A = this chain, B = another copy of it.
Amino acid sequence: MNRSKPRHFASDNCSGIAPEAMAALVEANHYHAPSYGDDLWTERACDRIREIFEKDCDVYFTFTGTSANALSLAAMARSYHAVLCHERAHVEDHECAAPEFFSGGAKLVLLPGENGKLTPGVIEAEALRNRGDFHASKVRAVTITQPTEHGTLYQRNEIAAIGEACQKLGLNLHMDGARFSNAVVALGCQPADITWRAGVDLISFGLSKNGAAVGDTVVFFDRSLAVEFEYRLKQSGQLASKMRFLAAQYVGLLTGDAWLRHAAHANAMARRLADGICLLRGASVPHPVEVNFVIAALPQQAIDGLRARGWHFYNAFKSGEVRLACSWDTQTSDVDCFLADLKELIG
């Protein structure tokens, strides 16, 4: 029997629309507004993002994190270029070759790294290995995910070191920030510190995993990369006609600290979950739990049992590992109920 729960741990994109986003959506729904981003809500959202990043950056809305990433990569790399990424990066594993499609053939080069993180060393080794030979795609850019697919964080200095390596090698640096809010609040830093001040040229900054219904952004700190970007958006069907309804959600979440508050809550829920799991015999947490999800190693019979009791979650990288994602709306009761079930199953 599959008894579904009101909230589960499958993904933070299974959660709903946060109140601040919904309120702004309703507020934006008055009268007519110019389409395709020429409206006041879009202007407000972009201004607020510039404020948050303390930088006069170029901001564009897309519909999904996948398209924000793929368009970012296409803005950096042409069809015969290569982009370096972690071997378990979302752009490689979960975007159905969107980067290759948007760029017309750019190659993702997969690099290893503990806890889902690249290091300047592997980047440099790969970049130099390829140089000067037109028989292989030319290395042109690097993309890192913050927080990573393993639920870990790049520290500020780790990003800065990568940024430095990129600058030395003449490579652009992109950040996949689908859960960027969770990283900011976990690190207790300014958004600028782990982006442009650390050498990041552009970021996919999404809130759909943090309370928005739909919409993502690409934020260009290096504005030269944004040249003609609106044509790319239009051509790829990523330009919202009624853009105010995407932008309003960002205004709602980014005004004040709702985005950070929601992220902090989700992070805390993951912490609570991880702490509970670690107490159980036969269960463990192989990676540091730094943001809002937990990779947990569980006995297969416990995994099966949890699913039989209606809990939704995904398998992680290895057999016997699952990913448990917390959201802005995850309740402590959800966590505790899950842990109670797990405890029973592990016995």
Contacts and interface: CB of A to CB of B under 8 A. Distances in A.
B93 A97 contact: no
A11 to B, nearest CB: 6
A67 B62 CA distance: 13
A32 B17 contact: no
Contacts of A70: 237
Interface string A248-265: 000000000000000000
Given A7-B31, A10-B34, A32-B14, A214 B242 contact: yes
The 5 closest A-B pairs by CB, nearest first: A67-B237, A101-B105, A80-B231, A100-B105, A13-B241
Nearest to A101: B105
Interface string A302-339: 00000000001000000000000001010000000000
Contact of A13 (B11, B22, B35, B98): B35
A78 interface: yes
Contacts of A231: 80-81, 96, 134, 137-138
Interface in A190-242: 208, 213-214, 228, 230-242
A115 interface: no
A177 to B, nearest CB: 15
Nearest to A137: B97
7 contacts: A11-B35, A14-B33, A25-B213, A71-B237, A96-B136, A97-B105, A138-B231
B106 A100 contact: yes
A146 interface: no
Interface of chain A: mostly helix, strand, loop or mixed: loop
A293 interface: no
A188 interface: no
Contacts of A16: 29-33
B237 A214 contact: no
A79 interface: yes
A181 to B, nearest CB: 16
A224 to B, nearest CB: 15
B312 A235 contact: no
A286 interface: no
B240 A63 contact: yes
B234 A80 contact: yes
